[in-house]
Every structure is written in structure tokens, then in C-alpha cells.
Structure 1
């Protein structure tokens, strides 16, 4: 009895493992882990700039028009979730995500698995928010019920699938801490989570392509120039680019079930998850930036036109003046008078505002003989 009482319980062992894991310093990322961190940083920086410009345009530049809508709110919320997911993915890469088992120990694996779960859950929150931003953007430009209901249904499916995926990850182990520390509880059949992952991927690909096709069907009926239609279609259709990351990620889902180098292969899954949400967020914000680009190009064009007008005005002043060429060769001296403007003197011209440009050219050459002068007069 005394021997049994001296042995620590499983909960105590789990607590000791957690304490040792949190005392473990991070590793220096290399290979896939380093690439993962770089890609996430670049994507997060670009997304931050694009979302910042969107907020500037909608909340400040167009503040008098009060155009801020639900699509903007969902974009900001999706960005915050994407940023949190990116931070957790970077933390996970610092503790073993994207690194093979030979370079890790148990404590690093525990710490990495915890951050990886956080990143996946918050990623699951970000995607329906980003898709909602696209949906509400499209709802602004269509009143046809068939398109509006199609958008509502797709958004419902995407949101429901995300909720199922999040719950599957959180309920896989009891308690949740057992997901990264198996000594703290028990976990179910992970194959269920993998199947949900495949279904989530299929729904993501379907909805991304639907969001790319529907803008074409909507915009082609709008009254605008072909050039503007093409621009709007391309901008709104960029949501399909995010599906590329989803398609590339799909084959890596099988590595959820491996026992060796599991965190290494999960690095690819995390990489494409972050790219999917980052690209989707950027694409969702581009329609709102069209006004900014339009105003910039108009300002540049107006500035060029103003310079052209100043140049023309200056040229007219030069041409309109009397120019004397006093340094000609001894053969002759020439005086040119150009640029006199005169209003026609009849009554009709005053009412019609007709202006006659009269140009007088006088050539005097001392060396000309009488015959040459007579010839010029003719």
C-alpha cells in the first residue's frame, strides 16, 4: 500500500510533463519550419497593408457617403482571426512544426501540438468570416433572388462546415488539453477528424469557385463599359485563387494519420491553410480598393493634363509674340509677325462667336533685286 501511495497519479504526471514542456526553450527553425515562418510573415504583412487600405477607404476617404457595411466588418474580423492564427502557427514552428522527429523531444512536441491546435481552430473561425465579406460585397451589386439565395446558401454551408470542423478538433480529446498532453486525458478516433477535414476541404473548393463564377453572372448584366465589367469580374473573381491553396493542401491531409514525422507533415498543412486564408482575405478586400486606385489614376491624369495645358499656353505666348531675326546673314533681314487674333466684323460673327486667326508674314530682303521682289509678290 505504501508503494502504491508513493507513485504519482496520471494527472500529476501530466502536470509534470506540462511544466517541463513550458520550461523548454524554442528551437531555431530550419528547412520547412523556416519557410513556413517566412511565408506566414509575408502573407500577414501584405494582408495587413491591404486591410489597412480598405479601412482607410471605407471609413475615412468615403466617410461622408457612409458606405461602411457588413462586408467591411466581416473583413476586419476575418483579418483579426487570420492574424491570431498566423501568430500561433509561427509559435508552433518555433517548437517543432515543420521539423522532423529526429530534431525534437517530447517536451517540444507537447508545446508544438498546443499551438498547432490553437492555430487550426482560429483558422476555422477566419474562413467563414472572410467568405462572408465576399458574400456581402456581392449582395451589394445584385437584387436577383436566385443569386442572393445562392450566396446565402453557400455562406450557410461554409459556416456550418467550419463549426463542425472546430467542434471536431475541440471535442476529439477530453479534456481539450489531452490533445497535446496525452497524460491529461483520453482521445477518440482521429480518423473522424480526418474525414471532416476532407469534407471541409471539398466545401472550401466548391464555395471558392462559386464566389468566382457568380460575379461573372451578376456583372455581365450591369450597365457599364466592357472594360469596367472585366475589371470588376477579375477583382471579384480572385476568390478562386484561394482555392488553389485548398487544392494543394488536400493531399497532405493523409499525413494526419502518420506516426513518424507527424509535425513535419503538418507543417505543409498549416502552410497552405495560412495561404488560403491570407489570399482569400486579400481578394476580399480588393473590390473596396478600386475607388482608391481610380482616384489615384484620375489625379495622375489630371496632373498630366494640367502640365500639358501649361505647356500649350506657354507655347502660344511664345508664338503670339513678335519675333525679329536681327542676326541673319548679310543676304537679308527678315521680320515675322505671327499670332494675331481678330473677331469677324459682321453681325453674324458677333452672335456666333466666330474667331478668325489672322497670320501675317512679312519678308524683307535687302539683297533681292527687282525681279525677285516681283516674283515673290506674284
Structure 2
């Protein structure tokens, strides 16, 4: 039987999933850079630079996973011929070594991008961030170095593991290092998910905007779950049997973990685009106030109304009623301003409100 026609073949799923993941990640990253560079007053920062590196590595990781499918990744080992098995272990072994090295740094850079963003909303927890960054770097660098030196010479890492007289560590040692990297990464992901939510919950006024921010960061729960599922699969699978099929299953969750992490780092930056689209579609709400009165002689009646009207700037993006770019407010309460972050203003009691008043006057003839 052709392995591609087996009922539980995972190859097409790997190709289709990674193609969709690359497309979504490209959109999310592109919107992030556009929002920061053109809609938020050119607020590109360190987190954007780190996210750029993470994006490139994640695309390479998914591309390598797609490249491995024709060699038998996702197919049952029993369905591969001897020639196909030889081709898999010779060609895919080199690809697998490169894929693991890329994955270590891809997921590590995703975590660094999230860490670099958190100071935009609060600078009071820098010590905790430094600790997490050090743990993330140590976990990434140590795993990468071990993967390179687990065979002597280093070139043997990219050879068929069945090559005679190859000098590498045992399979058990190799698996234990991968388990350690995954577990430590999960222990880093949990506080990275909790910290932003905790900051917003404790230091922002309760409002719809606060709930939206919490929901955005709460999406990180899915990233943690994907990492947890991957760890469970790694701990429970016996890779000495049907390795080609089981590697396809683990690869799917590995790719999901990396891409979802990148999305979590991009969502806060692209919130202004989502809000601008909702404004143009008419889903936004604005507050209106009305006042009426007469002068002392009863001749003049006046009314005033305050309402936020949306204009379109010459570049085509949304502006609010007082002529300020709506996009400059893209990360209100989560982006630093020249005078400090809005969270700091709230802590100091400096809350500002802008009001636009339109006055219409009508003279009424006396009786």
C-alpha cells in the first residue's frame, strides 16, 4: 500500500496545517508591524525586533516540517518500503537535527518577545522579567549546545543514526534532554501568561477595555495547553516503534505551540486595527450628553452636546472627534507615552477626559 493512501496518514494534515499557520502568522506579524510603524506613532521597539527574529525562525520550522512529509513523516513505519526507510533515515535525519535547533531558538525568541512587551504596560516587575529571561536563555542555549555536541564529531549529528561506528549519546539521554527543555519551557510559559493578566487586573480601572486586554492575554492559555499536550506525548510515546507516524503527531503540536505563542505576542499591538475596523463597520459606541437652558430674560435657548465623531485621515485610517489619530490610542493603558504609561497616571490619580461641545443658539421673539 502507498503510505499516502492509508486512512490515518498525517502527511496531508501536516502540510495543510503548517500552510495555514504560516499564513495566519504572516498576517498577525504584518499587522503588528503596520500598527506599530504607521498607526501608533512609530512605536517600534525591542519587542518588535525580537518578534521579527521569532517569526522568521517559526516559518523556517514549519517549512522544514512540510519538507519532511515526502520522506515519510506522518506515515506508519510498516507501510514504508526498505528504500523509503533508507531515504527517511538518511535525508530526514539531517532535516530533523536542523529542525530541532531551529525550534529551540524559535520558541525561545517567542518568549523573549513577550517578555520585551510586558515593560510597555508595567515597569515594576523588571526583576521577575530578568529572572525569566535568564531562565529562558539558559534553557534555550543549553539544549541547543547539547544537541550539537551529543555526537562526536559534530557532523555525526546530521548522519543516519544507524550509521556504523557513529559516536553519539544514548537515545534515553537524548529524550531526557528534550523532556527537560519542554518542562522548563512550560514553567516559564505559565508566569508569562499570568503576569500580564495580573498587572491589568490589579492596576487598571474596571472597564470594557480592561476586559478586552485580559481576554487577549488570556489567549496565552491555549499556548500553554499546546505545550502541555506536547510534553504528555513526548513522555508517553515509545519512539522505538512506528517512529515515522508518532513524529508526525508530535510535530503538529510543536508547530502549534510556536505559532500560537507568536500570535499572543502580536495581539496587543494589532488591537488598534481591530478597533478601527469595528469603528468603520459601525460597531463602536460613543457617549452623548445634552444640556438646555435660557438666559435671564427668557429670550435665548441653548443646547450643548458632546459626541465622539470619527473622521478619516488623509492616509485612510480612523481619527476621533477631536482630530487626534485614533491609532495613537491603539494601546491605551498598555503603551508608554512620553510622560509615562497610562497605568502610572492612574496610580498617581491623573485621569484626563476630553470633551467636545457643539453649541447651537436660537433667538425666540418675545410675546
Q: Counterparts of 2:170 and 2:67 in 1: how far apart (Å)?
A: 27
Q: Counterparts of 2:295 and 2:186 in 1: how far apart (Å)?
A: 76
Higher mean Cα deviation, 166-175 or 294-303? 294-303
Aligned equivalent of 2:312: none
Q: Counterparts of 1:249 and 1:345 in 2: how far apart (Å)?
A: 74
* Aligned partner of 1:267 among 245, 248, 253: 248
Q: Deviations over 1:120-176 (max 9, x none)?
A: 1101111111111111111111121xx221122112212211212212222222234
Aligned equivalent of 2:123: 143
Q: Counterparts of 2:24 and 2:144 in 1: how far apart (Å)?
A: 27
Aligned equivalent of 2:26: 48
Structure 1 unaligned segments of length 5 or more: list them: 1-26, 306-343, 358-378
Q: Given the two structures, how large is their TM-score scaled by the length of structure 2?
A: 0.72
1:209 and 2:190 equivalent? yes
Calculate the aligned-residue CA RMSD, in Å.
Answer: 3.0
Q: Counterparts of 1:95 and 1:255 in 2: how far apart (Å)?
A: 24
Q: Given the two structures, how large is their TM-score scaled by the length of structure 1?
A: 0.70
Q: Which has the larger radius of gyration?
A: 1
Matches within 5 A, 1:81-230: 81-102=57-78, 103=80, 104-144=84-124, 147-179=125-157, 180-181=159-160, 182-183=163-164, 185-230=166-211
Count of aligned pairs between the two proteins: 292
Q: Counterparts of 1:149 and 1:303 in 2: how far apart (Å)?
A: 39
1:61 and 2:42 equivalent? no
Matches within 5 A, 1:4-23: none
C-alpha displacement at 1:256, in angstroms? 7.4
Q: Counterparts of 2:94 and 2:250 in 1: how far apart (Å)?
A: 16
Tell me if structure 1 keeps the 8 A contact 2:75–2:244.
Answer: yes
C-alpha displacement at 1:263, in angstroms? 2.5
RCO higher in 1 or 2 (8 Å CA, sep ≥ 6)?
2
Aligned equivalent of 2:279: 298
Q: Counterparts of 1:91 and 1:345 in 2: how far apart (Å)?
A: 80
Alpha-carbon spacing, 1:227–1:186, altered in 2? closer, same or farther (3 Å): same
C-alpha displacement at 1:44, in angstroms? 1.3
Alpha-carbon spacing, 1:216–1:304, altered in 2? closer, same or farther (3 Å): closer
Q: Counterparts of 1:165 and 1:287 in 2: how far apart (Å)?
A: 30
Q: Counterparts of 1:282 and 1:78 in 2: how far apart (Å)?
A: 11
Aligned equivalent of 2:331: none
Q: Counterparts of 2:149 and 2:244 in 1: how far apart (Å)?
A: 20
Aligned equivalent of 1:241: 222
Alpha-carbon spacing, 1:224–1:294, altered in 2? closer, same or farther (3 Å): farther
Aligned equivalent of 2:306: none
C-alpha displacement at 1:178, in angstroms? 2.5
Q: Counterparts of 2:240 and 2:296 in 1: how far apart (Å)?
A: 101
Alpha-carbon spacing, 1:55–1:184, altered in 2? closer, same or farther (3 Å): farther
Aligned equivalent of 1:349: 299
Q: Deviations over 1:17-65 (max 9, x none)?
A: xxxxxxxxxx858611221222111111111111111111112233xx2
Q: Counterparts of 1:34 and 1:171 in 2: how far apart (Å)?
A: 34
Tell me if structure 2 keeps the 8 A contact 1:29–1:93.
Answer: no
C-alpha displacement at 1:356, in angstroms? 6.0
**Which secondary structure state, in structure 2, belongs to the residue aligned with residue 94 of structure 1?**
helix
**Structure in which a larger fraction of residues adopt helix:** 1
Q: Counterparts of 2:48 and 2:94 in 1: how far apart (Å)?
A: 32
